[in-house]
């Protein structure tokens, strides 16, 4: 390296160090100015106060035998269903069930599921008989080729609708 390169490297290091020091100084100044405003807002905001109180509330209570435990009565939380807990609608027939539930796997062949209309893949399964197909669809099945979850993952569907959907799939794949 030449003398000019050494001089450039030294100057560059000094300038870079100064810029980093200035950035750290600005950050410290901004924090020292902003923290009091944040604390003031947090103390006057009732929602923040409620969230802090909820986080600091005890996780449980201990009942001691032979002592007055009436203050430990369990309070029932609201049992009203929320939008997130709303039940999925039950499809009207086998075709609608296939489109709403089964097509997720049988449409793309996911997890070894035979695709709808794949005559070769369905021939082996159809040869086992409808009762076997019904049982695998209702109770679930894990074979060498893949997995069939119980009722396609929708345990809320009635058995008759699952059987109707199996019939629809078989008819479409023969």
Indicate if 48 and 101 belong to the same structural domain.
no
Nearest residue to 173 (alpha-carbon basis) of 106, 93, 96: 106
Indicate if 41 and 109 belong to the same structural domain.
no
Establish if 22 belongs to a structural domain: yes
32-44 average pLDDT score: 82
**Cα separation, 32 vs 82, whole angstroms:** 43
Give the tens place of pLDDT for each residue, 18-31: 999 999 999 999 99
**What residues have CB less than 8 Å from 141, skipping those under 6 apart?**
135, 147, 148
Q: For the whole model, what pTM was predicted?
A: 0.51
Over its C-alpha atoms, the chain yields an Rg (Å, rounded) of 33
Indicate if 104 and 168 belong to the same structural domain.
yes
Contact by Cβ (8 Å): 115, 121: yes
- Number of structural domains in the chain: 2
**What residues have CB less than 8 Å from 102, skipping those under 6 apart?**
152, 165, 169
Indicate if 50 and 120 belong to the same structural domain.
no
Domain enclosing residue 39, as ranges: 3-56
143-162 average pLDDT score: 88
Residue 78: pLDDT over 60: no
122-141 average pLDDT score: 90
- The CATH code of the domain that includes 121 is 1.10.760.10
pLDDT in the model for residue 74: 63
Establish if 45 belongs to a structural domain: yes
Indicate if 45 and 99 belong to the same structural domain.
no
DSSP string, 80-108: ---GGGPPPPPPSSHHHHIIIIIHHHHTT
Q: How far is CA 159 from CA 91, 113, 136, 137, 152, in A?
A: 13, 20, 12, 9, 12
Indicate if 161 and 99 belong to the same structural domain.
yes
Establish if 100 belongs to a structural domain: yes
Establish if 62 belongs to a structural domain: no
Residue 129: pLDDT over 80: yes
Indicate if 109 and 158 belong to the same structural domain.
yes
């Amino acid at each position: 390296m030449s003398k000019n390169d050494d001089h450039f490297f030294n100057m560059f290091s000094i300038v870079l160090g100064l810029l980093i020091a200035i950035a750290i100084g600005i950050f410290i100044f901004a924090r020292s100015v902003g923290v009091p405003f944040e604390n003031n807002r947090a103390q006057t905001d009732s929602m923040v106060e409620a969230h802090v109180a909820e986080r600091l509330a005890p996780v449980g209570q201990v009942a001691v035998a032979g002592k007055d435990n009436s203050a430990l009565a369990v309070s029932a939380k609201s049992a009203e269903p929320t939008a997130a807990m709303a039940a999925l609608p039950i499809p009207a027939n086998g075709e609608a069930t296939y489109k709403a539930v089964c097509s997720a796997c049988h449409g793309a062949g996911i997890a070894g599921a035979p695709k709808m209309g794949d005559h070769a893949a369905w021939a082996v399964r159809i040869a086992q008989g409808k009762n076997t197909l019904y049982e695998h669809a209702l109770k679930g099945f894990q074979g060498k080729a893949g997995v069939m979850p119980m009722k396609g993952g929708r345990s809320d569907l009635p058995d008759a609708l699952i059987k109707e959907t199996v019939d629809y799939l078989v008819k479409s794949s023969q």
